[in-house]
Amino acid sequence: MNTADAPRSLELWLEERRIGELREQGNLWALAYDPAWRMDGFDLSPALPCRAGEIVDGGSQRPVQWFFDNLLPEEGGRRLIASDAGIDAADAFGLLQRFGPESAGALTLLRPGQQLPSPALQPLSDVALSERIRALPRQPLTHGAPKRMSLAGAQHKLAVVLEEGQLWEPVGTAASTHILKPDHEHVDDYPHSVVNEWFCMQLAAACGLPVPQVAVRRVPEPVYLVRRFDRIGDGLQAQRHYALDGCQLLSLDRVYKYQQATSDSLRALERISRMPAATRIALLRWQLFNFFIGNSDAHLKNLSFLRGANGWELAPHYDLLSTSVYKASDWGLDELVFPMGTTRRYAHIGRDDVAAFGQSIGVPPKLTLRHLDELAIAIRRESHVVLQSYEQGATHAVDPGEARLLRQIVFGPVVDASEAVAMLSRSRVS
């Protein structure tokens, strides 16, 4: 962590508009909005109101630092990019100085006086991408990239542009349009994570949940590609759409993404959104879907909101995958992040617990159970459809290990959870 008294600063930009200045000295962070931005700009977050003067962190309440720290990778991803850059992993400001030009959201962070570089795209061949993947975890995926990028989250990932089947890397102020992730580095513990996430996202779409477009590419290593919901347009015309994750909206340090995963936090997010009633139903269905697929890693940073003309709107869902499937026959002993009522363990969750969760976020029990039953029927039906689409292999060679994992998801968490809590009519379920 930086302990020097010398102040450090960064300029904040949204596309070609200067937002203000971020400053750090003695491990205390401060934010000052640009006068022109204050005229017609917006609050970066509810805890960072757009006003004159500096917003300065205190000893215990650090809304500025927490907000910007949430733009950086977590855990091993942070340690790896820090090591590659020769920066202390605990020096969040130093990491933003190095990786701020392409952050997790819409902001661009530049050193004082640094000019906005011209946008461009550099081709990324499958061969070059394969070499980077094989260099993991010794080097991050961004090693050798034309623009250093800081994407939030714990997994290795790369911001790219996908256009007409070709991968490109953004240069200068060019915005990425997709996030790319290879298989989890701990392949023995979490095999085939690419096809796992692809399957769960396709299943979510089939069940009516809002999700971005996803695809699997083989270089020949499998990589997962997801369209960024915080981008508008394609290629060099892509523009950034301002979005915040749950921790940023609630002004929480990233370390509390699990601890503060409570119904109270969901209610707080509902109140911030411009359509609270629709948001609570969407959050209910998100929680139910995570239960049915066995996703025990759905935390506050896996929820994001887009800033629209009239306020904050829940963004399409992302990072949906079955983590419990990796526990094989013991998956029922795994636990949800957000509890159902007072219960987290999958094997102990019943209809009353689901109803209690719905009520805790403002959804009446009868309506909660209706959504539960409808989603249970849909997910059992559609899981077989998506599985079959993979096994038919119309656009790819079927990998036996991938197929086995997908069948374990369908005939493990999906079937077990839906049978345990839903009123299933045998005549309506294939």
- Residue matched to tokens 């790369």: 158
Residue 4 has what pLDDT? 53
Quickly list H helices, 10-134.
Answer: 35-40, 63-69, 75-85, 92-99, 126-134
What is the radius of gyration, based on Cα positions, of the chain?
Answer: 22
End-to-end CA distance of the chain: 57
- Residues taking part in catalysis: 297
What is the arithmetic mean of pLDDT over 406-427?
82
Q: Report the sign of the C-alpha dihedral through residues 228, 233, 237, 242, in that order.
A: negative
Closest CA to 189 of 50, 326, 41: 326
pLDDT digits (tens, 9 = 90+) for 32-63: 999 999 999 999 999 999 999 999 999 889 99
Whether the CB-CB separation of 63 and 56 falls below 8 Å is answered with no
Residue 397 has what pLDDT? 82
Whether the CB-CB separation of 322 and 295 falls below 8 Å is answered with yes
pLDDT digits (tens, 9 = 90+) for 286-326: 999 999 999 999 999 999 999 998 999 999 999 999 999 99
For each of the domains in the chain, give its residue range(s) and CATH number, in order of start. Answer: 8-69 (no CATH), 120-239 (no CATH), 241-428 (1.10.1070.20)
Report the alpha-carbon distance of residue 239 to residue 225 in Å, rounded.
19
Q: Where are the beta strands (DSSP E) in 233-372?
A: 239-240, 243-245, 304-308, 311-314, 335-340, 343-345
Q: Among 84-88, 115-119, 356-360, 423-427, which is the least confidently predicted range? A: 423-427
pLDDT at 425 over 60: no
pLDDT at 135 over 60: yes
Whether the CB-CB separation of 293 and 409 falls below 8 Å is answered with yes
Residue 59 has what pLDDT? 84
